[in-house]
Amino acid sequence: MPGEPQTFFPPDGYLPAVTDLYELTMAAGYFENAIDYSATFELWVRNLPPQRSYLIACGLEDCVRYLSDLSFSKDTVEYLRAQEVFKHVSDAFFDYLRRMKFTGDMWAIPEGTVVFAGEPLIRITAPIIEAQLVETFLLSVINYQTTVATKASRVVDAAHMGGVERPVVDFGLRRAHGPGAGISAARASFIGGCAGTSNVYAGYRHGIPVYGTAAHSWTMAFDSELESFEKYYKTFPESTILLIDTYDVKQGAINAAKIGDGLRGVRLDSGDLVAQSKMVRRILDDAGLKNAQIVASGDLNEYKIRDMLRAGALLDIFGVGTGMVVSCDAPALQCIYKLVEEQKGGRTVYKAKFSEDKAMYPGAKQVRRISNGHGEFQRDVICRHDEKMKGEALLTKILEDGKPVGGLPDIKEIQSHAKEQLARLPERYKRFDGADVYPVSYSPALEALLEEVKKQYR
């Protein structure tokens, strides 16, 4: 069993199998019934999660990589063929799977864009089997990365209270939903405005700045706290930030101050951070260490950071883990992926569903954003994809015939885009209670199409 790859990190060629079985039974059904026309699916968030008035779109780059490289390995196809459910399915279907590539078009709203419920974030047009098969993976990627980018933007907003840009660093890998989630969280939280991550692989892979100092165990590994601090400083004379709450915070601050001018800062990880930060600041200042920074960590989130800063906490940097990467107050996002139209022999057939609590609009769509003269976002209109309307069109073409249309922005560009987007979003939608609803409407042409489709089904 050792020697095998980690079960939760499938090697290349296995990614198409990271999907729900029903995507493959439907694929077989379409194949066996010779249904091969082109279909358009859209991915959107059904409802905003609690306490949220906006989302930061995130995850597109991983989806593009997935679609561009989609290819089934031999043994996953053989595995499928051996499943009882496929017993009556022809060999031709499995041969097809082995050859299958993604050959369709993808339109999407760029990562880092402020988006709202109901707005298509991704639109896929492809032979129906391909368009259907990719549903589960795309949802899984977009749901999580959008959740974290959004949460991070709130945490960063709290940390920047009063216009002071106190950095937020992702400390979440250990509490994320597995190592893969931790890596995606580092990426998404950087896009949401974090200054960096503690996650070394994410730093290596994405070029995100990495941060880290020492744990309680470092302090505990020496005979005295002071010795542990001196030994750390000896090895890292230019980047010593000392964790001072292992035994007693006051004594820890006094010991840290003995390092002198080389001390970059101290970290507080437990207890009443407001009171501690004031005491520690005094100790550092009295030792002439006005530039030594105080880092706060330990189950933080946007609410706690806001409350601590309002209470006068003297904190300079925040390490945020669980609350951000698990997005505890809203840990799941309701992204869905639905068939909206088919192209059958030159004719477009519009599709919708009308089940009690999950209704939707038919047809390929675009989102138009209307801003005021200062560039501030006023309202969005979800319209037909080819409808002439004022406002900025949010969806752009990303893949054509399965191939990337242009380059994708790098992560720093995406972060800048998100920052600029948030600056254009009126303040009332950034409040942490999510009480104000940004106006999103459907165009009259789309409303008319919905009525037409409803009539057709009656």
Q: Residues 251, 282: contact at Cβ < 8 Å?
A: no
- 173 interacts with a copy of itself by CB under 8 A: yes
Report the alpha-carbon distance of residue 373 to residue 151 in Å, rounded: 29
Binding segment (CB under 8 A) for a copy of itself, from list 73-81, 151-159, 365-373, 381-389: 73-81
Report the alpha-carbon distance of residue 273 to residue 129 in Å, rounded: 55
CB of 204 to a copy of itself, least distance (A): 5
- 206 interacts with a copy of itself by CB under 8 A: yes
Q: Residues 350, 326: contact at Cβ < 8 Å?
A: no
Report the alpha-carbon distance of residue 83 to residue 94 in Å, rounded: 12
Instruction: Give me the torsion for CA of 218, 221, 227, 229, rounded to 10°.
Output: 0
SS3 state of residue 263: strand
CB of 183 to a copy of itself, least distance (A): 5
Closer to a copy of itself by CB, 3 or 163: give it.
Answer: 3
Binding segment (CB under 8 A) for a copy of itself, from list 103-111, 169-177, 287-295, 308-316: 169-177
- 342 interacts with a copy of itself by CB under 8 A: yes
Report the alpha-carbon distance of residue 225 to residue 47 in Å, rounded: 51
**Residue tagged 């990303």 (tokens):** 398
Of residues 417 through 456, those in contact with a copy of itself by CB under 8 A are none
Binding mask 112-131 for a copy of itself (x = CB under 8 A): ----------------x---
The residues, ordered by sequence, that sit 6+ positions from 409 with a Cβ below 8 Å of its Cβ are 110, 111, 417
Q: Which of 92, 215, 311, 448 binds a copy of itself (CB under 8 A)?
A: 215
Binding segment (CB under 8 A) for a copy of itself, from list 119-127, 139-147, 281-289, 365-373: 139-147
Q: Output the DSSP codes for 96-121.
A: HHHH----SEEEEPPTT-EE-TT--S
CB of 334 to a copy of itself, least distance (A): 8
CB of 138 to a copy of itself, least distance (A): 9
Alpha-carbon distances of 413 from 54, 65, 123, rounded to whole Å: 20, 18, 23
Q: Which of 106, 156, 326, 446 binds a copy of itself (CB under 8 A)?
A: 326
* φ, ψ (nearest 5 deg) of residue 180: -65, -45
How many residues bind a copy of itself (CB under 8 A)? The answer is 138
Strand partners, 114: 56
Q: Where are the alpha helices (DSSP H) in 339-443?
A: 411-424
Q: Which of 80, 168, 280, 367 binds a copy of itself (CB under 8 A)?
A: 80
Q: Where are the alpha helices (DSSP H) in 259-331?
A: 273-286, 302-310, 322
CB of 12 to a copy of itself, least distance (A): 6
Structure tokens at 350: 């519009």
Binding segment (CB under 8 A) for a copy of itself, from list 110-118, 307-315, 348-356, 422-430: 348-356
- 133 interacts with a copy of itself by CB under 8 A: no
- 180 interacts with a copy of itself by CB under 8 A: yes
Binding segment (CB under 8 A) for a copy of itself, from list 117-125, 242-250, 253-261, 281-289: 242-250
- Residue 216: left (phi > 0), alpha (psi -120 to 50), or beta? alpha
Amino acid at 58: C
- 301 interacts with a copy of itself by CB under 8 A: no
Q: Which of 71, 103, 143, 343 binds a copy of itself (CB under 8 A)?
A: 143
Of residues 7 through 36, those in contact with a copy of itself by CB under 8 A are 7-12, 14-15, 17-26, 28-30, 32-33, 35
Structure tokens at 10: 């499938």
Q: Which of 101, 205, 282, 431 binds a copy of itself (CB under 8 A)?
A: 205
Structure tokens at 294: 């105080």
Of residues 255 through 274, those in contact with a copy of itself by CB under 8 A are 269-272
- 139 interacts with a copy of itself by CB under 8 A: yes
CB of 315 to a copy of itself, least distance (A): 17
**Residue tagged 């007693």 (tokens):** 248
Q: Which of 308, 320, 335, 446 binds a copy of itself (CB under 8 A)?
A: 335
Binding mask 81-110 for a copy of itself (x = CB under 8 A): --xxx-xxx---------------------
Structure tokens at 112: 């880092």
Q: Which of 38, 53, 113, 145 binds a copy of itself (CB under 8 A)?
A: 145
User: Among residues 208, 199, 210, 160, which one has the least CA distance to residue 321?
Assistant: 199
